Structure 1
Amino acid sequence: MRPKFAQYLPILDWGRRYDRGALTNDLIAAVIVTIMLIPQSLAYALLAGLPPEAGIYASIVPILLYAVFGTSRALAVGPVAVVSLLTASAVGQVAEQGTAGYAVAALTLAGLSGAFLVLLGVFRLGFLANFLSHPVIAGFITASGILIATSQLKHILGIDAGGHTLVEMAGALLAHLGEINPITLVLGVATTAFLFWVRRGLKPLLRRLGAGPLLADVVTKAGPVVAVVATTLVVWALGLAERGVAIVGAVPQALPPFTLPGLSPELVRQLALPAILISVIGFVESISVAQTLAAKKRQRIDPDQELIGLGAANLGAAFTGGYPVTGGFARSVVNFDAGAETPAAGAFTALGLALAAVALTPLVHYLPNATLAATIVVAVLSLVDLSILRRTWAYSRADFAAVAATILLTLTLGVEIGVASGVVLSIVLHLVKTSKPHVAEVGLVPGTHHFRNIDRHDVRTDPTVLSLRIDESLYFVNARFLEDLIQDRVTDGCRVRHVVLMCSAVNEIDFSALESLEAVNERLRDMGIGLHLSEVKGPVMDRLKTTHLLDHMNGRVFLSHYDAWCALARAGADTKAAE
């Protein structure tokens, strides 16, 4: 019998079937992802306002913990651009960048995020992330990509310019244009151009030259490493650091240290809301990537266990000198394409990064910040998808309004307000859509037992029977809407003698909706009209049987709407043509 605790340790499942073939594939994937992660980790730490080694530290123990608790075979956990930006925004409000307090606040943020995610997972509350609609998430990520790319221009230009919003950053850049360092500019622009070419043109070129797909992929993913090595050598050989080129400087040559997040009530209070927002955004991004990749191999992802896996990873970051992490899209796709079979590929990646932290960190002393900034710019511009505005405008004006508002608020007021507004807009959008549910008057399709909308089909109707199909669950937001709609349809002078509510699409009736149905029943009774229900689902009927509605209802409950039609409609019912 499987121990109960085993459900929280997916490693016990895939670990039993681990073989030499999986080991080989995982090792190959780990090499490719490690090559990709080294410059990315350094760059994202820079984006978060932390020392470069924090990016490496955040990519070691968190990956190991996710390998134990996570359910995705391909998800690569670590620092990502959007979470790094959110970290900088949140921590920057409670401590000054470069101070010990800033690093402690980042650790605290990771700890709070981890604890929140674990709690959600233990209590199986992963569904809460569904309140963030995809259009709103797409709008936030697009705006974040623009902000991130803009924030890195100061490193490429070699100037000192701050700001948290697009307007602030643009103003600061314009104000300091006269301070541009020409050497830094050349390095930054050349590196950016090279990385764009590597991303788009190197792999096809290698394939045309006869390289195999695996070799071409490894060399392409190593492009940022080539840029790092080349620019570091140039800065070192030409002594460019003495000529104003900002460099990474000394990086500790050590494994991740044991650290403690700050536990002061004031710090926790200040970071609690940002931690929740980071957790939700990180989980949504991570689970979408994990499920997409799992579907390609017909594997299963457990969202609640993913919460625990990501929570454990963030707790690990909090105690090993890191900052909040999540599953990254780009590196997860690389991990998947490279043939990763199990989460052990992530564990091998962590070991590779640990080796880099011990042996390679002195080699990045002369690495220019402009190179890291170029790495970030090239990575995040792939997140920018302004076509979401055109697509939502064509499909749904409400979704367009939500996307446009999220993008605008994120760019003008900052990422925290942007993501908070995205959450609120997602909930409001849902409430607005369900506050006026689609209710269709239906009639019988001749020669069948099916009922369809009278405005779309040629159907048989009866002026004494009003058949309404409710295409939404009934709850407090829309209860009054149905009440008013029925009242408007049975005005004085109409010939209706029976109102039948077709409930095939109603999954729930809450107490507010129940009271509305009771009010409708009383009102129709006074008018001499019967209220009937048809095709009520079992769970809904079970709830209704515990109330007085069925006992007092001025009508009947029918198993099918056709039964209601046969019992209530007049012989020779009218036919209404579709408009």
Structure 2
Amino acid sequence: MKGKVAKWLPGAAVIFNYDRANFRHDLLASLVVSLVLLPSAFAYADLAKCAPAAGLYAAVVGMVVYALFTSSRHVNVGPDAAIALLVGAAIGPLAAGDPGKAVTLATVLSFLTAGVLFLMAKLRLGIAADFLSSPAMLGFMNGAAAVIVGSQLGKFCGINLEKDNTLLRFWEWAGRIGETDRLTLGVGLVCIVVLAICKWGIRRVPGAVAVFLLAMIAGQFCDFSAQGLAVIGTVDLRVPKAVRPDLALADMTPLFTGALGIALLVFSEGVVLGRSVARRNGYEIDADRELIAFGASNAAAGLVFSFPIGSSQTRTLLNDATGGRTQMVNFLAAGMSAGFVFLAAPWIAKVPSVAIASILVFTGITLIDMRVYKRLWKLHRFSMIVAAVTTIGVLGVGVLPGILLGVLLSLLGVLANIVRPNDALLGCVEGSETLHDVGDDSAAKTIPGLVVYRFYGPLIFANVRFFIERVEKFIRQEKNPVKQLIVDARAIPSVDITAAEQLHDFLERLRARGIEVVVAKAHLPLRETMSAVSGKVAPESKHYEQLAAAVAAYRQQPEKE
């Protein structure tokens, strides 16, 4: 029974088998998450054309339900800016400004989104997450951190920035920096100093919690609003009564297309974020399980007459940065968020918005890791390009397009490796019988009259011409007439029919030129495919189980005039 619970409800299993050593870390992380959640939940509800309370309810029930089903220990769900914008675009024209209709349409959209996610899970489409390479995820994390900073620059400086695109937003901020409100910036810088002291000095005190609590206390003694600072303000916790929108089926098209787009965004963002954080903390997540978790959380949002939700980059990264360890953070944050609103609403209302902005700006800056590009450049330059382009894509064209751009580049890299795989011309060092790659070892020389060629990868229609051209090149560059070609096939797992046919014709042409063809270490499927095309690759006696035996047999042949 416990095994089934752990399989279907990983979060419930965490509760039943909770390690108390994690509680202090989870409690602090959940406090930070809940404090950051409240203003964003209300703000994103406005983007979604819904009542402010809808954002809070979606976040609270969404976190609880998601935590029960998820395999991620760190991802936090709730209202998200990109998703809220899609929701607003889908229901806004249909609701026509009627709050009651907006409630109904948002609820329907939540259930439709959940249905798409459940269908994706049923079809086991979580495999699509395997196309998210490590460089793409690293690039995404840096891009996400920069997006967090860009989204808060206006609030941090007291400037009402209008651009949604992150790069354009940075550019707008740079052009309007002279409009900065000194008091807002001053308070923000004080908050940054407190955060820095807590991070690098008093490490036991979470900086975000310290800043928020100090801001609440200060709000009781100083009227920030009267000084011209923006504050969180009072929140109406009532959700308008649902009203039937009276729409024809044809008019519902925006809801269906919106649900599909939101589901894809929820999945791609959530899995990339989840895998990135999981990789950093040394565990794995199940992409199909995440589809179920996101579907269940959206269905729960619909049950409380709210709008679709997804993973939060900001709160997830804050959860990780402040030491959260298990799904318990979501449970605790849900309870704290509800408790804060109902019990401390008057205090929260007086907190200056710049305090929250400073937490997010500081978190984003500390999460940007520029060293990763240097490290990738040294290890594999194309991987660095994938990471950098993904980062630029996230900043320039948005989170989902940026992720897709990184995936596309990763796939192109895989395709390039298949079409032009690594290969090697093998030779021996003087006084040794061991074969080495001539390109890697300058002391290695080819054996006179012999070409030993190793090909790394499957032989398919897309790379057989490359194989033939490389062999011909190595034959031409030999000073002595080539008498024999040995193909080291240990790294050729398979061959398709097109490649087999072209390879057979090529080897026959070599034999006609007096070049004997020998194959070493060919796997059985490779030999069978070649035999099925038109005879053996080489006579049975000329196929060797070991490459060294094939070379030794050549050396023992008598010299031919």
Equivalent of 2:354 in 370, 389, 394: 370
Stretch of structure 1 that moved more, 481-490 or 402-411 = 402-411
Matched with 1:524 is 510
Q: CA deviation at 1:286?
A: 0.7
> Which runs of 5 or more residues in structure 1 are unaligned?
204-215, 574-579
Matched with 1:503 is 489
Q: CA deviation at 1:372?
A: 1.7
Equivalent of 2:31 in 35, 42, 47: 35
Q: CA deviation at 1:163?
A: 0.7
> Which runs of 5 or more residues in structure 2 are unaligned?
none
1:503 and 1:106, CA in 2 relative to 1: closer, same or farther beyond 3 A? farther
Matched with 1:560 is 546
Write the deviation string for residues 196-223 of structure 1: whole angstroms up to 9, x where unpaired.
32222222xxxxxxxxxxxx3xxx22x3
Matched with 1:69 is 69
Equivalent of 2:421 in 437, 446, 457: 437
* SS of 1:469 mapped into structure 2: strand
Matched with 1:480 is 465
Residues in 1 aligned to 2:386 and 2:74: alpha-carbon distance in whole angstroms? 29
User: What is the TM-score of this pair, normalised by structure 2?
Assistant: 0.78
Instruction: Determine if the alignment matches structure 1 residue 266 to structure 2 residue 254.
Output: yes
Kept after mapping to 1: 8 A contact 2:145/2:365? yes
Q: CA deviation at 1:365?
A: 2.0
Residues in 1 aligned to 2:264 and 2:364: alpha-carbon distance in whole angstroms? 23
Kept after mapping to 2: 8 A contact 1:535/1:561? yes
1:191 and 1:280, CA in 2 relative to 1: closer, same or farther beyond 3 A? same
Instruction: Determine if the alignment matches structure 1 residue 284 to structure 2 residue 280.
Output: no
Amino acid aligned to 2:466 = F
Residues in 2 aligned to 1:274 and 1:475: alpha-carbon distance in whole angstroms? 38
1:463 and 1:178, CA in 2 relative to 1: closer, same or farther beyond 3 A? closer
Amino acid aligned to 1:283 = V
Q: CA deviation at 1:460?
A: 7.7
1:68 and 1:278, CA in 2 relative to 1: closer, same or farther beyond 3 A? closer
Residues in 1 aligned to 2:426 and 2:43: alpha-carbon distance in whole angstroms? 58
* SS of 2:202 mapped into structure 1: helix
Instruction: Determine if the alignment matches structure 1 residue 383 to structure 2 residue 371.
Output: no
Q: CA deviation at 1:69?
A: 2.6
Q: CA deviation at 1:564?
A: 2.9
Q: CA deviation at 1:192?
A: 2.8
Amino acid aligned to 1:34 = S
Equivalent of 1:293 in 270, 281, 303: 281
1:198 and 1:492, CA in 2 relative to 1: closer, same or farther beyond 3 A? closer
Kept after mapping to 2: 8 A contact 1:181/1:244? no
Amino acid aligned to 1:87 = I
Instruction: Determine if the alignment matches structure 1 residue 148 to structure 2 residue 148.
Output: yes
* SS of 1:249 mapped into structure 2: coil
Kept after mapping to 2: 8 A contact 1:530/1:555? no
Q: What are the residue-to-residue correspondences of 1:248-263 with 2, within 5 Å?
A: 248-253=232-237
* SS of 2:64 mapped into structure 1: helix
Residues in 1 aligned to 2:244 and 2:507: alpha-carbon distance in whole angstroms? 63
Kept after mapping to 1: 8 A contact 2:195/2:359? yes
* SS of 2:390 mapped into structure 1: helix
Q: What are the residue-to-residue correspondences of 1:64-213 with 2, within 5 Å?
A: 64-72=64-72, 74-79=73-78, 84=80, 86-87=82-83, 118-119=118-119, 121-173=121-173, 176-177=176-177, 180-203=180-203
1:117 and 1:379, CA in 2 relative to 1: closer, same or farther beyond 3 A? farther
Residues in 1 aligned to 2:349 and 2:221: alpha-carbon distance in whole angstroms? 13
Amino acid aligned to 1:147 = V
Write the deviation string for residues 501-548 of structure 1: whole angstroms up to 9, x where unpaired.
22322344345544443443344354444444332346x448x44972
Identity, in percent, stands at 22
Equivalent of 2:411 in 418, 427, 435: 427
Q: What are the residue-to-residue correspondences of 1:314-463 with 2, within 5 Å?
A: 314-317=298-301, 319-320=303-304, 321=306, 323-325=309-311, 328-332=316-320, 334=322, 336=324, 340=326, 343=327, 346-443=330-427, 451-457=435-441, 461-463=446-448
Write the deviation string for residues 290-310 of structure 1: whole angstroms up to 9, x where unpaired.
355355xxxx75454344334
Kept after mapping to 1: 8 A contact 2:157/2:181? yes
Write the deviation string for residues 58-94 of structure 1: whole angstroms up to 9, x where unpaired.
543333334433335x435335xxx945436656766
Q: How many residue pairs were aligned?
A: 539
Q: CA deviation at 1:252?
A: 4.3
Matched with 1:576 is none
* SS of 1:452 mapped into structure 2: strand
* SS of 1:467 mapped into structure 2: strand
Residues in 1 aligned to 2:286 and 2:397: alpha-carbon distance in whole angstroms? 35
Equivalent of 1:247 in 208, 224, 231: 231
Residues in 2 aligned to 1:228 and 1:360: alpha-carbon distance in whole angstroms? 13
For the aligned residues, what is the CA RMSD? 4.5
Q: CA deviation at 1:475?
A: 3.8
